[in-house]
């Protein structure tokens, strides 16, 4: 099954942990996933950080270290290539914090849940900054001197950046009726608001596609499902109609 893109088609892509699985980055749920060995609320909630910040920093430090040895896979590259063809008719919304889409060359990207290679202060308004360090003890903010540094990711119960949500809404609202596609890749559809995008897209007239190794719980929300690993499927998924997009749009 192939997804045909015409000269005016807009494409909104949502990715989840599955897209990085073939790079060697563990997913969250399911066998071998990050949540299998530790309760989510312990390491990915503000309450968990208040209770035991050292454990949280050990968890994120280990993930930072792992990222130093992984790179984008053919799934990431396929999405960067499709963006080159579509230009501003493309937007990539990722729940992943691993930065692999940017490494592959994606530019029109919204990192909905932040970036693991950034830290921020839990007290002052200092902007998130690049930080690939590993910590055994909780680092202090050297700007305000009183706050604790934490990974600049979005934990359960925390608000997502309203500017990010606005950018996604605008893309959906400006997509041409009857000629746009929502494609979800490698996500279990368990976490909101990202999980709500498929129904939002359907009601806004988008065709809905899913690429995943297994049928996730929200499979029925999608019109088209292509089963398989994204690193194999994505490079073969896109088909350009005869008058399809030029290779280098403005
Ligand atoms: C492959 C593959 C291969 C494997 N190829 N596929 C509405 C209803 C109910 C609850 C809520 C709601 N709105 C908000 C909530 C509360 C909450 C929520 O969603 N709870 C749910 C548990 C129900 N949401 C929030 O709190 C969010 N904040 C928010 O909405 O604020 C306002 C608000 C707050 C409270 C109440 C109401 C409103 C914040 C969510 C933040 C999520 N953060 C995390 C951690 C980020 C940092 C870190 O990395 O540690 O984000 S949790 C974790 O899950 C991470 C992921 O981005 C996210 C999604 O996981 P993902 O990517 O789908 O991974 P998996 O592992 O679940 O799935 C992988 C899939 O890939 C599987 O299907 C595999 O089969 C597949 N796969 N290999 C293709 N090779």
**Residue limits of CATH 3.40.50.1220 in the chain:** 3-25+72-113+160-240
**Is 125 an active-site residue?**
no
Architecture of the domain defined by 30-69+131-153: 2-Layer Sandwich (3.30)
Is residue 212 pLDDT above 90, yes or no?
Answer: yes
Nearest Cα neighbor of 25 from 67, 74, 79 is 67
**Residue limits of CATH 3.30.1600.10 in the chain:** 30-69+131-153
Q: How far, in Å, from the CA of 248 to the mean position of ligand 1?
A: 34
- Is residue 196 within 6 Å of ligand 1 at its C-beta? no
Is residue 99 pLDDT above 50, yes or no?
Answer: yes
- The whole-number pLDDT of residue 41 equals 80
73: left (phi over 0), alpha (psi -120 to 50) or beta: beta
Task: pLDDT band for 126, please (50, 70, 90 cuts).
Answer: very high
Provide the CATH topology of domain 3-25+72-113+160-240. Rossmann fold (3.40.50)
Is residue 247 pLDDT above 70, yes or no?
Answer: no
- The whole-number pLDDT of residue 250 equals 44
- Sheet containing 90-94: which strands, arranged edge to edge? 109-111, 90-94, 10-15, 180-185, 207-212, 224-227
Task: pLDDT band for 152, please (50, 70, 90 cuts).
Answer: very high
């Amino acid at each position: 099954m192939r997804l045909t893109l015409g000269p005016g088609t807009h494409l909104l892509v949502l990715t989840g942990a599955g897209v990085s699985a073939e790079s060697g980055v563990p997913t969250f749920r399911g066998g071998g996933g990050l949540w299998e060995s530790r309760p989510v609320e312990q390491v990915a909630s503000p309450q968990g950080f208040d209770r035991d910040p050292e454990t949280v920093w050990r968890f994120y430090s280990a993930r930072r270290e792992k990222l130093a040895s992984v790179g984008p896979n053919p799934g990431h590259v396929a999405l960067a290539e499709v963006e080159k063809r579509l230009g501003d008719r493309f937007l990539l919304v990722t729940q992943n914090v691993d930065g692999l889409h940017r490494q592959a060359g994606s530019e029109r990207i919204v990192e909905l849940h932040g970036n693991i290679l950034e830290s921020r202060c839990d007290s002052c308004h200092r902007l998130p900054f690049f930080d690939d360090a590993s910590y055994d003890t909780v680092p202090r903010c050297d700007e305000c001197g009183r706050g604790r540094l934490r990974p600049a990711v979005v934990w359960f119960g925390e608000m997502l950046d309203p500017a990010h949500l606005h950018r996604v809404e605008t893309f959906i609202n400006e997509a041409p009726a009857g000629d746009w596609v929502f494609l979800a890749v490698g996500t279990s559809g368990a976490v909101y608001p990202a999980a709500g995008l498929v129904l939002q897209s359907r009601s806004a007239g988008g065709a809905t596609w899913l690429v995943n190794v297994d049928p996730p719980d929200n499979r029925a929300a999608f019109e088209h499902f292509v089963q398989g690993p994204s690193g194999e499927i994505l490079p073969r998924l896109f088909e350009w109609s005869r008058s399809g997009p030029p290779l280098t749009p403005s």
